[in-house]
Amino acid sequence: MKTIITLNEALEKIKQLKSTYYFRRGSEKVTLNDSVGRELSEDIIADSMSPAFDIAAMDGFAVRSDDRYPLRISGEIYAGDSIAKIKSGEAMAITTGSLLPEGADAVLKIEDAEVKKDILYGKVLKKWENVFQKGSDYNAGDRIFEKNHRIMPQSAALLYSLGFEKVPVYKKIRAGIISTGTEIYNGMIKNTSAVLIQGFMKEMGCESEFFGSVPDDFDRTKRMLLQACEEYDVVFTTGGVSVGERDFVADIIEGIGELIFHRVAIRPGKPLAVGIVNDTPVFALPGKPTGAFTALEMVVRRYFTDMPRAMHELVINEDVVLPENGFEYILFVKIAHNTASAMGREMKLFDREYKTAIISASPRSSVVEGYVITDRDIGKGKLVKVHLFS
């Protein structure tokens, strides 16, 4: 498969790959603290109701909504007090979070109240106004979380309120990392891409191991890939996916498995290959470190999470000219004084024309606050949408 595909086509293929392979893992039970960032392996059904009582949602006065003012203030209720009782014509001062007294069905906000001695005046209220009603959060039998839900801190808090001490989650994805290239195998250059992938997998809440490096040798690369695909849930390779004489990783994947796609119309990151070997997804990243990072961010990340990056519109403070049409270019930018500027240009890796081949080779060029995706030239002073890393 040699046809270059668009970014949207690549993301659709990643979505299909995920639907088949991502949730094939076993499950385990972990503590609430350890569950954050993990996905539930089963539905969570409530076996009780919350709140168990009607609760005041405001500081003010508990009243009967069909009573008419003036009302006599008969007492005070604080959070933690047992349930009190009021009669028609009465009101009770109440604090937020306190149990609504028996007989009351509304709370008059303190700012809407007028008190003269022990007599209350105020506005007409609807039934249950300013009341957190019994069972309004959830009832027994309600499905609170669906299987595959990624647990957030607020999810963990709700699970605690439901009585969970251990949470059923999928086991963490285990990734094996193979670095190809004689220059890496011989230690001539540092293996930055392996460190990059391990950091990426940690950010995704997954586990990873460096499986090994291999020189530019077809048979040795093939053997190592086959072995890794027997041991891990997913396998990453770096290098060997371009169009050079020794770039044969995509051919190996196609020969021993299925090549889903090879080359995406993005720069940096174009020579990305994705396939399946021994029923294991393989992500073959470009050898250049920023090219590898771009492929991870723009395409592979979608396999692990559907959560989009936050975006912010900023003014760009320079002209950027694209060298070729037909690609989506990823421009890594620093943010300062509410403007965006290209890190590569600050490093003098390019002037006006965006030289992605040089950017791809520079690990430092992607250490920024965000990036811009564009398929056309950008003029200085234009508003651009910046995808934020944090």
3 state SS of 90: strand
Do 197 and 236 lie in one domain? The reply is: yes
The answer as to whether 139 is a domain residue is: no
Range of the domain at 353: 311-388
Do 166 and 202 lie in one domain? The reply is: no
Beta pairing, strands 273-277 & 90-94: unpaired
The answer as to whether 2 is a domain residue is: no
Domain boundary residue, one of 285, 304, 323:
304
The enclosing domain of 152 has a CATH number of 3.90.105.10
The enclosing domain of 82 has a CATH number of 2.170.190.11
Q: What is the pLDDT of residue 178?
A: 98
* 296-321 confidence digits (pLDDT tens): 999 999 999 999 999 999 999 999 99
- In degrees and rounded to multiples of 5, residue 208 shows phi and psi of -150, 155
The answer as to whether 137 is a domain residue is: no
The enclosing domain of 273 has a CATH number of 3.40.980.10
* 23-45 confidence digits (pLDDT tens): 999 999 999 999 999 999 999 99
Give residue 28's identity as a one-letter amino acid code: E
| Cα(216)–Cα(246) distance, integer angstroms | 6
* 96-127 confidence digits (pLDDT tens): 999 999 999 999 999 999 999 999 999 999 99
* 234-277 confidence digits (pLDDT tens): 999 999 998 777 889 999 999 999 999 999 999 999 999 999 99
Q: What is the pLDDT of residue 293?
A: 97
Q: What is the pLDDT of residue 244?
A: 78
Do 187 and 290 lie in one domain? The reply is: yes
The answer as to whether 157 is a domain residue is: yes
| Cα(274)–Cα(16) distance, integer angstroms | 12
- Contact call for residues 346 and 295 (beta carbons, < 8 A): no
Do 294 and 336 lie in one domain? The reply is: no
Domain boundary residue, one of 304, 326, 345:
304
Do 105 and 222 lie in one domain? The reply is: no
